[in-house]
């Protein structure tokens, strides 16, 4: 079930970013490949010739707000991880809707986004508070990972 949901979210991202014929081909290849992927996190993100990839300005606020929500949750010792999962999920949906990226930077962002969506889904479905807290830390690490590769 998780794979179906992640695949659906991936399709939404791919569809929302589909702005040109060249990107359409790339998206189709990514879509086809996504069906057969078993471990999204196994694909290492590459830097852009040693530099971070540029993320379009209209997309950044949603990543930053999601990160802010996670950090505030941790700093304030909050306990409603289901609400946090929904809030981060909402930010991810807005990120996906605002996607205008293409090419290699877009492909590299997908390498971060797919595992990130999985973490959010895990948090959303968690029933144990201790495991949820561990997942929140994984989510925080995901945002740190984003900052290692993207501006």
Residue 58 pLDDT class (50, 70, 90 cuts): very high
Radius of gyration of the chain (CA): 15
Residue 124 near residue 85 (C-beta atoms within 8 A): yes
Residue 61's pLDDT is: 98
Residue ranges of domains in the chain:
2-149
Q: Token digits for 30?
A: 């990514």
Residue 119 pairs with which residues in a beta bridge? Answer: none
82 vs 125: CA distance, rounded Å: 8
Q: What is the pLDDT of residues 85-136, one digit of tens each?
A: 999 999 999 999 999 999 999 999 999 999 999 999 999 999 999 999 999 9
**What is the DSSP secondary-structure string of 48-106?**
BTTBPBP--TTTHHHHHHHHHHHHHHHHTT---HHHHHHHHHHHHHHHHHT----HHHH
Mean pLDDT (the chain, rounded): 81
With a cut of 70, say whether residue 43 has pLDDT above it.
yes
């Amino acid at each position: 079930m998780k794979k179906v949901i992640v695949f659906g979210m991936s399709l939404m991202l791919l569809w929302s970013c589909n702005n040109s014929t060249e990107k359409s081909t790339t998206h189709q290849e990514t879509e086809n490949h996504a069906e057969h992927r078993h471990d999204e996190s196994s694909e290492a993100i590459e830097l852009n010739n040693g530099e971070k990839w540029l993320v379009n300005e209209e997309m950044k606020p949603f990543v930053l707000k999601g990160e802010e929500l996670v950090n505030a949750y941790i700093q304030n010792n909050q306990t409603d991880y289901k609400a946090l999962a929904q809030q981060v999920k909402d930010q991810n949906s807005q990120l996906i809707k605002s996607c205008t990226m293409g090419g290699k930077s877009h492909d590299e962002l997908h390498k971060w986004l797919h595992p990130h969506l999985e973490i959010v889904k895990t948090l959303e479905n968690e029933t144990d508070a201790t495991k949820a807290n561990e997942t929140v830390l994984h989510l925080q690490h995901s945002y740190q990972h984003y900052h290692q590769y993207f501006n």
